[in-house]
Amino acid sequence: MNDFESLLLLGCGGHALVVAEAAQEAGFTIHGFLDDDPETKANAGSLGHAFLGSINDAAVVIETSSTPLGLHAAVGNNELREAWMKAARSAGLKDRFLTIVHPRAIVSPSANLGLGSFIGPNAVINARARIGEGVIVNTSAVVEHDCVIGAYSHVAPNATLGGGAQVGDSSLIGLGAIVLPRITIGQRVVVGAGAVVVGDLPDDVVAHGVPAKIAQTSHT
């Protein structure tokens, strides 16, 4: 258990709203949102919460709060999520990051969830799966037994990882994609929506289709 009942969310886009509602259902109070994009400000009001400033204001908001605040980087973009979490760590805020698990998610007691990860509604994390720091396992995604998901990766809604599959850091498994058992996916890989991955994928590629084929490199 953690000592934080109130949550400060980094990010105020659509994913942040999903996290906020999940956190409330899990028993947290939402203290407010921070974001560097002013266009997201209205999202906070739509849920009846406060927009409190930019990401760099996190330390000040925490210091001036009358209640202890936990943190969660609530942004779907892997690179931004990693950058925000690392910046907060550098500011001495690492111990405030919370893992948010929606009450309707199913998480095996033998699974391991990394710091600051998010497990969405109806997601399933099965036996001995290992989920890295800052990972998103989104709505109705399935991570089967013995899977390993690297830090700051995102398993999108309705995606499925078969038993023993491995996903490297900062990768995206797209909407409804399927990764067959014991497949290894590298770092910074993008698997397109609806793809079926039947063979290993190296680092820094984009793959899509049935079966998934490498279409291009994702980083140059």
Provide CB contacts within 8 A for 42, sequence distance 6+.
none
- Rounded to an integer, what distance in angstroms lies between the CA atom of residue 13 and that of residue 3? 26
Amino acid identity for residue 119 in this structure:
I
- Rounded to an integer, what distance in angstroms lies between the CA atom of residue 139 and that of residue 58? 27
Please tell me which residue in 145, 154, 208, 219 is annotated as part of the active site. 145
Is-catalytic flag, 49? no
Q: Is 179 exposed, middle or buried (0-12, 13-18, 19+ CB in 10 A)?
A: buried
**Helices (H), ranges, the chain:** 14-25, 41-46, 58-64, 78-90
129 near 109, Cβ under 8 Å? Answer: no
Catalytic annotation, residues = 145
